[in-house]
Amino acid sequence: MSIDTAKVLENLGIQSQNYGAFNGEWFGSGEVLESISPIDGKKIATVVQATTEEYEKVYSEAEKAFKEWRMVPGPKRGEIVRQIGEGLRAHKDDLGALVTLEMGKIWAEGKGEVQEMIDIADFAVGLSRQMYGRTMHSERPLHRMYEQWHPLGVIGIISAFNFPVAVWSWNAMIAAVCGDTMIWKPSPKTPLTAIACQKIAAKVFVDNGLSPAVMSLVIGETETVGEKMIHDKRLPLISATGSTRMGKRVGEVVGGRLGRTILELGGNNAIIVSNNSDMKMVTRAILFGAVGTAGQRCTSTRRVFIHEDIYDELKEKLVSAYQQVSIGNPLDEGTLMGPLIDNLAVQSMQDAITEAKSQGGTVLCGGEVLQEDFPCGNYVKPCIIEMPNQSQIVQDETFAPILYLLKFNNIEEALHSHNAVPQGLSSAMFTTNVLEAETFLSHMGSDCGIANINIGTSGAEIGGAFGGEKETGGGREAGSDSWKAYMRRQTNTINWSKELPLAQGIKFGD
């Protein structure tokens, strides 16, 4: 089955040259950015980026739109998001294919990513009637106390190349029902998917007679537009997904102006495999976690701690499963692993393998660059490396399909090593022993934001809060009560008596 890429682009309104700024109108006069497909290293289309002055134009419309949007009742905002979800359903195959073209994940995962967008839109629709505040009993007679959640204003969303559309939607759909308007700065590696999403959303706002600047876009350079955005005091919240290095910069600048951040940064996710586990399930889970999306999810499995009794058996199973991974064009059915995002990513994988070897690691399989079959140089064989201990390279996040195997003989020791890395996003244990499972999930267990039993580290559902601890940044996006980060809380006390009693029984001047 082949995909007609020209048709995909046409269906999504992508031209050969596009503008990078949107505030209801499309414009841009900055540097031209080329969107290069990692599949063959060829240009898909270009984008004329926004300048810092054009950022101002985007901001001012988003601010105007906020004044209108906050007055639309929550459930009516939900209805708009419902329609955006319908738009995404109608474009699922095309948008999934564009994600594959621009980012390189296999089409099944591209469509899965769009499904996450649809799911979060549905979640946000329900949420739009459930943004509850509490009521409290006042200590004073004839007084009432309650709290309300109000929209924050214009917020900033910075997203990464690896989930170019889903992560925007986690923020955008929730922020929209909360009454915020937003400016999205996508990764410069995936600008076209961002433009396609904007077009789907903008149509819904226009069809409903609302300002499409509720969801605005600015594709611009990090050093100019990105810096301007994080310094902008008028943006009360910046939600940023990407590397720890980027997150530290965002955290420092936004923290310096006492703004809020939601940071979703690096992960170094591990699976602990107990000797009480189902080996078939474990093998499949590790394969999906480590090889899926070519190891470029922030939830990708990077470390596996295996009990010594089953170490050799699992190692053999994994090496044989890795031999069967079909590598190739991610648009072809049957391909399990596509390319890495670019040559730089391939180089950093090569460097990490060299480093691992110098730290005592043994490569069990993979790691080669498939230069002959794929001259663009973006395709690699997924790699398994056996490590004598959790040395420095194992503690780093390398955004590539490298899996480190480590042996353990007691759970406490495994847990200690599991937590002894700077990141704290996702984690898993495979066991049928309830005591081990409960230990892993307890306060003395995994220190991550996500901890699973008998499920791998990646592929989380949107219903839960997504994010992690330590250098992962501490933010939470998507489901549960993550919406609260997109709103400001107000405590209200109303006196319906004819007296003015003071709290704490204070007498003052009476």
Q: Which residues are marked as active site?
A: 264
> Cα–Cα distance between 173 and 118 in angstroms, integer?
10
Check binding of 298 to ligand UN1 (CB under 6 A).
yes
Contacting range for ligand UN1; rule: CB under 6 A; set: 51-59, 291-299, 324-332, 335-343: 291-299
Q: Which of residues 89-148 bind ligand UN1 (CB under 6 A)?
A: 116
Pick between residue 214 and residue 448 the one whose CB is nearest to ligand UN1: 448
Q: Strand 43-48 and strand 17-19: pairing?
A: parallel
Site for ligand UN1 contains 163 (CB under 6 A): yes
Return the number of the residue (196 or 294) whose C-beta is nearest ligand UN1: 294
Cα four-point dihedral sign 132, 75, 24, 31:
positive
Rounded Cα distance between 268 and 448, Å, is 10
Residue 151 or 468: which CB sits closer to ligand UN1? Answer: 468
Distances (CA, A) of 219 to 191, 413, 479: 7, 47, 27
Least distance (Å) from ligand UN1 to the CB of residue 436? 23
Q: Which letter, b or e, does each residue of 475-510 get, where b requires 16 or more Cβ atoms within 10 Å of its Cβ?
A: bbbbbeebbebbbeeeeeeeeeeeeebeeeeeeeee
Of the pair 39, 298, the CB lying nearest ligand UN1 is at 298
Cβ nearer to ligand UN1, comparing 163 with 374: 163
> Least CB distance from residue 272 to ligand UN1, whole Å?
18
- Residues 435-464 as x/- pattern, contact with ligand UN1 by CB under 6 A: -----------------------xxx----
Per CB under 6 A, the list member of 261, 299, 301, 390 interacting with ligand UN1 is: 299
Amino acid in position 376: C
CB of 426 to ligand UN1, least distance (A): 7
427 part of the interface to ligand UN1, by CB under 6 A: no
Size of the site for ligand UN1 (CB under 6 A): 11
Q: What's the CA gap between 230 and 232, in Å, rounded?
A: 5
Is 58 or 166 the residue whose CB approaches ligand UN1 more closely?
166
- CA separation for the pair 59, 154 (Å, rounded): 8
Q: Which region, judged by CB under 6 A, interacts with ligand UN1, from 100-108, 162-170, 349-357, 382-390?
A: 162-170
The footprint of ligand UN1 on residues 462-491 (CB under 6 A) is none
Please, are residues 366 and 384 in contact by the beta-carbon 8 Å criterion?
yes
Q: Binding to ligand UN1 (CB under 6 A): which residues in 208-267?
A: 241
Rounded Cα distance between 305 and 302, Å, is: 10
3-class secondary structure, 180: coil
- Among 190-198, 297-305, 343-351, 380-388, which window interacts with ligand UN1 (CB under 6 A)? 297-305
Q: Amino acid identity of 365?
A: C
Distance CA 221, CA 50 (A): 8
> What is the closest distance, in whole angstroms, from the C-beta atom of residue 159 to ligand UN1 in the complex?
9
Distance CA 440, CA 327 (A): 35
Q: Which of 167, 402, 429, 448 binds ligand UN1 (CB under 6 A)?
A: 167
Q: Report in angstroms how near the CB of residue 364 gets to ligand UN1 at its nearest.
A: 25
Neighbours of 277 (CB within 10 A): 23
CA distance 387 to 415: 17
Structural tokens at position 412: 């406490």
Residue 116: CB minimum distance to ligand UN1, A: 6
Distance separating alpha carbons of residues 30 and 47, to the nearest angstrom: 9
- In one-letter notation, the amino acid at residue 207 is D
Applying CB under 6 A, which of residues 18, 100, 162, 187 lies at the interface with ligand UN1? 162
Minimum distance from CB of 447 to ligand UN1 (Å)? 18
Per the structure block, which two tokens stand in for 97? 């294919």
424 makes contact with ligand UN1 (CB under 6 A): no
Note the residues at the interface with ligand UN1 (CB under 6 A): 116, 162-163, 167, 241, 297-299, 458-460
